Amino acid sequence: MGGLSLGEKHFIQGGIAQDLRCDGRKRLAYRPIYVETGVIPQANGSARVRMGATDVIASVKAELGKPSLLQPDKGKVSIYIDCSSTAEPAFEGRGGDELATELSVALQRCLLGGKSGAGAGIDLSSLIVVEGKICWDLYIDGLVVSSDGNLLDALGASIKAALSNTGIPRVQVAAGTANDEQPEVDVSDEEFLQFDTSGVPVIVTLTKVGRHYIVDATSEEESQMSSAVSISVNRQGHICGITKRGGAALDPSIILDMISVAKHVSEQVINKLDSEIASAEAQEES
């Protein structure tokens, strides 16, 4: 994405001020979200989410591992994002690493909760097989295939979709092993357990341009932003995490205002996303 001329910048800013953006959207309207699930057959769960020209894929891989000593009753989840150079030539080589790290950290904050694992969108205690010995490690990998702004929201949505697509194999633990030995396990390849994803939040990014803020900014609009606040909200309307990008400072009252707007917008997004995921799952089965 190259730069914009003064005339175009002025036009974009004017559109946001007049509540009619370049593609005819209002300030608080999302682009249509399109979800496909099960796009990677090797993974335990995967999904592809498209919003306009933004295109991201997320996959979930589950492996048996050992829980950490500090939290013997919880599994582990890690999120990694990769920015493909097909999305933008600038991402080639190490060029996309900075953005990828920024996105990974933001997603970890929004979805994984605190260090203790409390408040996480994913219930970590459901990943335990034998307390202190065996647990499931979830590796969530995101790939940015094409980038047209609002990557964080799209990645959040794709991870939610991928998790609801994930099946964790049922594990039989062989009884009668000594306490200090690693128990033998039998991983079933027929029976799968579904995840409960109702607690996974969606991320709503509000981008501030001029004196107004917009949701689901395209990359052209993002180039005009002064700052952006990403708020993750779950189904109950509770805030799970907030991150801010961009250098410009914000008045606290504006942030509070943004939070209430994000809460309102997130209701529609969650409903839309859930219905899209359901129809994608139905399509996959047929």
CB of 16 to another protein, least distance (A): 10
- The structure tokens 């260090």 sit at 115
**Residue 76: phi, psi to the nearest 5?**
-125, 145
CB of 78 to another protein, least distance (A): 31
Residue 26 or 170 having the CB closest to another protein? 26
Structure tokens of 170?
Answer: 């049922």
CB of 93 to another protein, least distance (A): 22
**Are 88 and 77 in contact, with CB atoms under 8 Å apart?**
no
Residue 143 or 231 having the CB closest to another protein? 143
Q: How far apart are CA 214 and CA 118, in angstroms?
A: 31
Residue 169 or 210 having the CB closest to another protein? 210
Q: How many CA atoms lie within 13 A of 258 on its CB side?
A: 26
Alpha helices in the chain, H assignment, sequence order: 6-17, 97-112, 151-165, 219-222, 252-285
CB of 61 to another protein, least distance (A): 27
DSSP string computed for 17-65: HTT--TTS--TT-PPPEEEEE---TTSSEEEEEEETTEEEEEEEEEEEE
CB of 24 to another protein, least distance (A): 3
Residue 125 or 275 having the CB closest to another protein? 275
Judged by the rule CB under 8 A, the positions of this chain that interact with another protein are 2-8, 10-15, 17-18, 20-26, 29, 31-32, 34, 50, 210-211
Residue 71 or 223 having the CB closest to another protein? 223
Q: How far apart are CA 249 and CA 198, in angstroms?
A: 34
Residue 22 or 105 having the CB closest to another protein? 22
CB of 72 to another protein, least distance (A): 45
Among 30, 28, 46, CA closest to 277: 46
**Are 159 and 142 in contact, with CB atoms under 8 Å apart?**
yes
Residue 2 or 176 having the CB closest to another protein? 2
Residue 218 or 232 having the CB closest to another protein? 218
Q: How far apart are CA 58 and CA 159, in angstroms?
A: 6
CB of 17 to another protein, least distance (A): 6
Q: What is the CA radius of gyration of the chain?
A: 20
CB of 56 to another protein, least distance (A): 14
